[in-house]
Amino acid sequence: MVLIDKKATRLYVLDTNVLIHDPAALYQFEEHDVVIPMTVLEELDKHKNGIREIARTARQISRTLSELTAKVSFDEIRRGIPLTDAYGHSGRLRFLCYSDLKPLDHLEESPDNRLLAETCRLRDERPDASVILVTKDINLRVKASALNVPVEDYLNDRAFSDSDAMIEGAKVYAQAGRDGAGLWESLNVEVAVERIDHHIYYRLSGAIPADWHVGMLVSDSDNGADFEAIVREVAPSSACLQLLTNYRHHDGVWGVHAHDSRQNFTLNLLMDPQIDLVSIAGNAGTGKTYMTLAAAFQQTLDSKLFERIVFTRAPIPMGEDIGFLPGTEEEKMGPWMGAFHDNMDNLLRDEKDGTSSWSEGATRQLIGSRVQIRSPTFMRGRTLNDTFLIIDEAQNFTPKQLKALVSRAGRNTKIVCLGNVGQIDTAYLTANTCGMAALVERFRDWPHAGHVTLKSVERSRLALAAEELL
């Protein structure tokens, strides 16, 4: 992106894709003016017909603009319609309409080139202000930079900046302090221990680290930790930690045991009745789906805490789409459920003879009666009660789509989002704009949510070599 020397007065010219991407973009520029050219209004009009998501968004934007213009006079529209955001910042909305617009030299007629011509003319008419084109179109940004037109990407949709990273949900103090000091030597706090309802709590008072947040793992080692706890309460000078259950040995979850602190933390989050939303990130082979299914079966088939398990994922192909799939909803989702069936085979495998009971009719019928495989396309309008909902490949959902899925939660429902922001197959999504990044950041301090990024990888030599060499 080209660096721009911005003046005090700024006019942000919005491209159509910005409004489609975020219908509330009008209110995201604080005290500065927002300009919508006539070219953008014409493109919105072309997109408004149909039942696709882009058509619904275009109609929503048109309704918003209609409501804003219906409350003011023609003179006020010419001066600019006042826009006030949630923080009290007041800018103005202006429309750009030129009846004698001349196209830019040597450029053919197209919506993008007309938008550039409108921006250039506005820039020439307002030398007192910084006129900046805002667009999600990378090629248009390159073209604008080449024509000396100030241009920016729309950044308000990012959960965090490029210089930051998604939180890991864990703080490991192994060898963290000076001279190899561990957890307690690294913290300048006073500790009081108490036992409440079979749980052990550590009450800390003193200088609490600024990066601690509710639902975070605090451990003194990645492997073989002596102390592992979850942050239940945190303030600048106090915190409350609850000691975690050790799922490494006898206390497994449906036969699944943790191998390190992060996996043990994951199983604790999955089994914790106080946690309604769990997000688990990590590379392939870290056990995300494996541990989640084990916890789901433990709480559905054994403990009877939930009545059913609903498994869904974004049907986004990694390569070319193979086309139409026949059958019912579950049969159409079958090809996308490879991870589910692979992990079911591993969970039900007999270690003695190496066979799996997943292929047996009785086992398949028992589990099939409690497990529903659903497409996210048909989830809108549903309310899921007494359900353990697993959303796989959550990084391929937009924030709006993931919000629609999470808001399906009804009474006694637990939602688990699995994903890897390093493997995104959806066009226009990045590691800091995808739905999973937004969900982790928004629910960071909610006491009934937890997030962990898994590190340990149990993969073959070939898979690890492919990661390094290809």
Instruction: Give residue limits of the domains in the chain.
Output: 10-152, 170-469
| pLDDT grade for 163, boundaries at 50, 70 and 90 | very low
Confirm if 411 and 306 have CB atoms less than 8 A apart: no
Pull the structure tokens for residue 43. Answer: 């493109």
Q: CA-based diameter of the chain, in Å?
A: 83
CA–CA dist 401, 420 (Å, integer): 17
Q: pLDDT tens digits, residue range 80-115?
A: 898 887 667 788 999 998 888 888 877 788 889 999
CA–CA dist 435, 395 (Å, integer): 6
Pull the structure tokens for residue 121. Answer: 């003319």
Please choose, from the candidates 98, 99, 61, 95, the residue with its C-alpha nearest in 3D space to the C-alpha of residue 77: 95
CA–CA dist 90, 8 (Å, integer): 15
| This prediction's pTM | 0.78
| pLDDT of 317 | 63
Given a cut of 60, whether residue 424 has pLDDT beyond it is yes
Q: What is the DSSP letter of 253?
A: B
Q: Which of 88-97, 128-137, 162-171, 304-313 has the lowest mean pLDDT?
A: 162-171
- Same fold flag, 10-152 and 170-469: yes
Q: Quick one: what percent of the chain has pLDDT higher than 90?
A: 40
End-to-end CA distance of the chain: 29
Topology (CATH) of 10-152: Rossmann fold (3.40.50)
SS3 12: strand
| pLDDT grade for 272, boundaries at 50, 70 and 90 | very high
Mean pLDDT for the chain?
84
Confirm if 420 and 283 have CB atoms less than 8 A apart: yes
SS3 329: helix
Q: Which CATH architecture has domain 170-469?
A: 3-Layer(aba) Sandwich (3.40)
Mean pLDDT of 453-470: 69
Backbone angles phi, psi at 263, to 5 degrees: -70, -40
Given a cut of 50, whether residue 178 has pLDDT beyond it is no
Given a cut of 70, whether residue 460 has pLDDT beyond it is no
Exposed, middle or buried, 363 (CB in 10 Å: 0-12/13-18/19+)?
Answer: middle
Backbone angles phi, psi at 394, to 5 degrees: -65, -20
| Residue 34 bridge partners (DSSP) | 12, 93
| pLDDT grade for 179, boundaries at 50, 70 and 90 | very low
Please choose, from the candidates 382, 361, 375, 362, the residue with its C-alpha nearest in 3D space to the C-alpha of residue 328: 375
Q: Count other Cβ atoms within 10 Å, centred on residue 52.
A: 10
| pLDDT of 85 | 73
Q: pLDDT tens digits, residue range 196-247?
A: 988 999 999 998 999 999 999 999 888 877 899 999 999 999 999 999 999 9
Given a cut of 60, whether residue 141 has pLDDT beyond it is yes
Q: Count other Cβ atoms within 10 Å, centred on residue 309.
A: 21
SS3 132: strand
Mean pLDDT of 19-34: 88
